[in-house]
Amino acid sequence: MKKLKNFLIFCLVLSSTTVFAQKDLFKEKVHIKGEDTLKYRIMYPENFSEDNQYPVVLFLHGAGERGNDNKKQLANGSKLFTDKINRGAFPAIVIFPQCPKDSYWSNADVDRSSYPISLKFPKDKEATKPMQLVIDLMEEVTSKDYVNKEKVYVGGLSMGGMGTFEILSRQPDMFAAAFAICGNGNAELAKEYATKVDLWIFHGADDNVVDPKGSVKMVNAILENGGKPNFTLYADDNHNSWDSAFAEPELLTWLFSKSKK
């Protein structure tokens, strides 16, 4: 019995150590522009050298990970990039910014009085402050000589899926490919990036938080504007369709195979 207890304690310690090790790979950073601050985490490839060039991946988290601790944004998606096999196969600079609690990545009117939530995306509003800061950060990062400017990517889930569509509409020439999980967006703006950026869109058909018809709408808009997006609808998934998306064996292979058109 004592041996079993000691073994269980060892497993718990090992598990905790692994989690902390993953977080340690993402260094805490702050991006400051004027009086505004964006907290973010960044992971560099193993054996990083400024003499080489690397792809960049921007990941936008969901509403539940908003805050100012510069940690919660790693809750979903970070393991995909810290996985030892993935990290070796796809060396890249990976950025996880954190949105403050009182804001959103996309400029959306959100009504949570009923579910699925009601979402409206104004066409001509300026970007939210967090999105402005993310764009400024990405412009700074991608200006570096060690960045492969032909292989810059963005992805996100839920609020971050909406932010993915939004940043594409505002910076269509920055990205080669993008993935949006259980998101939504302004279909009128799809024309800005439909033929410029390769997309893979995911949603759960049983999503009772963000209506899957939002992703269907965005797929249709991209098709109507000449794009050819991948679209995966998981029949039995609710809002956490990111679990299925992150488990897709071809996701990273697809993403890192893309270069700007």
Give the model's pLDDT for residue 240.
97
Could you give the percent of the chain with pLDDT greater than 70? 91
pLDDT band per the 50, 70, 90 thresholds, residue 15: very low
**What is the arithmetic mean of pLDDT over 77-96?**
98
Q: What is the pLDDT of residues 198-247, one digit of tens each?
A: 999 999 999 999 999 999 999 999 999 999 999 999 999 999 999 999 99
pLDDT of 12 > 80? The answer is no
pLDDT at 2 over 80: no
Q: Work out the average pLDDT over 64-75.
A: 98
pLDDT at 14: 43
pLDDT at position 1 is 53
- pLDDT per position as a tens digit, 102-144: 999 999 999 999 999 999 999 889 999 999 999 999 999 999 9
Quote the longest CA-to-CA distance of the chain.
66
Mean residue pLDDT of the chain comes to 93
Q: What pLDDT shows up at residue 18?
A: 40
The strand pair at 27-33 and 36-43 is best described as antiparallel
The pLDDT, as a whole number, for residue 24 is: 86
Of 188, 185, 193, nearest to 229 (Cα)?
A: 193
Measured distance CA(189)–CA(162) in Å, rounded: 12
CB under 8 A, 24+ apart: contacts of 250-255: 251/80, 251/179, 251/200, 252/80, 252/86, 252/89, 252/90, 254/177, 254/200, 254/230, 255/57, 255/90, 255/153, 255/155, 255/177, 255/179, 255/200
Contact 63, 104 (CB under 8 A): yes
